[in-house]
């Protein structure tokens, strides 16, 4: 079952993320987030109206996904980056596909027009998942991370959401934000 994340899910989400940080190269973090940091992450994302989803089985969180603005500057306001992690014992069960499909739908409903996947370590399973969902290869940054004694690439993949760049959005980026940046 998929549902919106709640602050009470933070311990489960932090545990899933910790495994990926400590054993995998999908995240370039080297120290896992604390439960308190994860609680704040959930608040930050949901307060902006961006989607943050969890997948549950028998009441246990087995995966999560969220979208956040791709970069902080106002002109990026219509582009988001997805983050998706599945509990190690549940990988390959279709949970990632369910999460990503729902995340695409909710990100489109929010008004994002492009979704970017930044795939740490060029993880083959993540590249395959995003490709299956319609993402196209947008680039590769070679040897930009170092973890576990080896250099790691980041693979960029992208999918248009809704009308993509086929029409102008109903609003423009916040001009007041530009003034704040210039100060």
- Dump the DSSP string for the chain: -EEE--GGGHHHHHHHHHHHHHH-SSS--SSPPPHHHHHHHHHHHHHTT--EEEEEETTEEEEEEEEEESSSSGGGTTEEEEEEEE-GGGTTSSHHHHHHHHHHHHHHHHT--EEEEEEETT-HHHHHHHHHTT-EEEEEEEEEEEETTEEEEEEEEEEE-TTTTSS--SS---HHHHHHHH-
The Cα–Cα gap between 96 and 16 comes to 13
Tokens at residue 153, please? 């690439």
Domains in the chain, start-ordered, CATH in brackets?
A: 2-182 (3.40.630.30)
Determine contact, residues 2/98, Cβ cutoff 8 Å.
yes
Determine contact, residues 20/27, Cβ cutoff 8 Å.
yes
Average pLDDT for consecutive 10-residue bins of the chain (183 residues)? 98 98 95 98 97 97 98 96 97 96 98 97 95 98 97 98 93 56 44
Give the pLDDT confidence score for residue 171 in this predicted structure: 76
Distance of alpha carbon 133 from the chain centroid: 14
Determine contact, residues 152/143, Cβ cutoff 8 Å.
yes
């Amino acid at each position: 079952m998929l549902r919106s994340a709640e602050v009470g899910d933070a311990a489960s989400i932090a545990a899933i993320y910790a495994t990926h940080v400590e054993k995998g190269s999908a995240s370039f973090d080297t120290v896992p987030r604390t439960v308190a940091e994860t609680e704040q992450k959930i608040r930050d994302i949901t307060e902006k109206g961006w989607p943050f989803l969890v997948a549950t089985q028998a009441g246990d969180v087995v995966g999560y996904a969220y979208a956040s603005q791709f970069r902080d500057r106002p002109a990026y306001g219509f582009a988001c980056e997805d983050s998706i992690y599945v509990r190690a014992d549940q990988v390959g069960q279709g949970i990632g596909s369910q999460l990503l499909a729902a995340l695409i739908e909710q990100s489109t409903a929010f008004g994002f027009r492009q979704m970017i996947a930044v795939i740490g370590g060029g993880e083959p399973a993540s590249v395959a998942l995003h490709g299956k969902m319609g993402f196209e290869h947008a680039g590769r940054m070679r040897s930009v991370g170092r973890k576990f004694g080896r250099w790691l690439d980041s693979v960029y993949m992208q999918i248009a959401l809704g009308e993509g760049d086929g029409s102008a959005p109903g609003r423009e980026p916040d001009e007041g934000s530009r003034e704040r940046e210039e100060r």
